[in-house]
Amino acid sequence: MSTPTMTPVASGRAERRVAVQPVTPPRVLHSEWIKLRSLRSTRITLLVGFVLMAGIGILTGAIQMSQWATASAGDKAGFNAVDTALRGYNFAQLAVGVLGVLLVSGEYATGMIRATLTAVPKRLPMLWAKSIVFGAVTLVTMTIASFIAFLGTQPLLTSHHLQTTLSTPGVLRAVVGGGLYLTVVGLIGIGLGALLRNTAAAITSLFGVLLLLPVLIDLLPTSIRGHVTPYLPNNAGGALLSVHQQSGSLAPWTGFAVMCGYAAVAIAGAAYALKRRDA
């Protein structure tokens, strides 16, 4: 460990010395943690994602049970207690992804990135720290939201004996998968935000990958679409949230690994650009 240096600081007539601490990974992590929790927009956006993840499944379950008597035979046969409970991840991913983008692009927009990179001149530790801190916070909060969604939905289904439990094969993996999926979406957002350095461009790219790309792939011939669709990030990662493997989809952990590959490519591209470009 390097020895702290002493920098003279003038104070009136006297001159005092202030210790300048070396840049270390724990200090960079602590700095990113302070920035993450000090921004009101971060707390609000994370809360929105939490409410969407936890609440939409419960709301959907309540609506479906209130209309169960008039539901068609096909709807009843296709009902899945876990899919209903975790439906909120489709909406929560938008809030989490946008927050990931803003954590980086917001610093470029305000010019704070110059101060950040002055404090961390090697640059890449800042990106790693930002990814680790945001990833950890997102994983904890969204996993809790996923469990709330599941546990809050099941009592609504008991009147029609449609409920399930965490001990049922594949259910615990799907519920935990809700937090894992949203965490990776957030990391993709961080990668795009650091790579493009523009909020609008990064959010547009993120939404394009998650929402628009599947629509465009559906326009392809069936022979091609069947080989591409399972590898799209939302389909690959979504396999982790399904209790039963769908025909043509990837295995749950294989699909999640593919989705992690998208995040790795985005962050690797951001790291390359961060080293090559000026702030």
Q: Name all contacts of 89-92 with Cβ < 8 Å and 24+ positions apart.
A: 89/53, 89/146, 89/178, 89/181, 89/182, 89/241, 91/52, 91/53, 91/56, 92/49, 92/50, 92/52, 92/53, 92/56, 92/142, 92/145, 92/182
Q: Are 102 and 41 in contact (CB under 8 A)?
A: yes
Cα–Cα dist 201/2, whole Å: 40
Cα separation of 176 and 240, whole Å? 9
Give the CA count within 13 Å in the CB-facing half-sphere of 246. 17
Q: What is the pLDDT of residue 111?
A: 85
What are the residue boundaries of the structural domains of the chain, listed by start?
25-276
Angle of helix 171-196 relative to helix 199-207, nearest 10 degrees, comes to 140
SS3 63: helix
**pLDDT 10s per residue in the chain (279 long)?**
444 544 555 555 555 554 556 778 888 898 889 988 888 888 999 999 999 999 999 999 999 999 998 889 888 888 999 999 999 999 999 999 999 999 999 888 888 888 888 888 888 999 999 999 999 999 999 999 999 999 999 999 998 899 999 999 999 999 999 999 999 999 999 999 999 999 999 999 999 999 999 999 988 888 888 889 999 999 999 999 999 888 788 999 999 999 999 999 999 999 999 888 765
Q: Kind and range of the H or E element at 183?
A: helix 171-196
pLDDT of residue 2: 46
Q: What span, in angstroms and rounded, lies between the C-alpha atoms of 161 and 248?
A: 30
Which residue do the tokens 């990135």 mark?
113
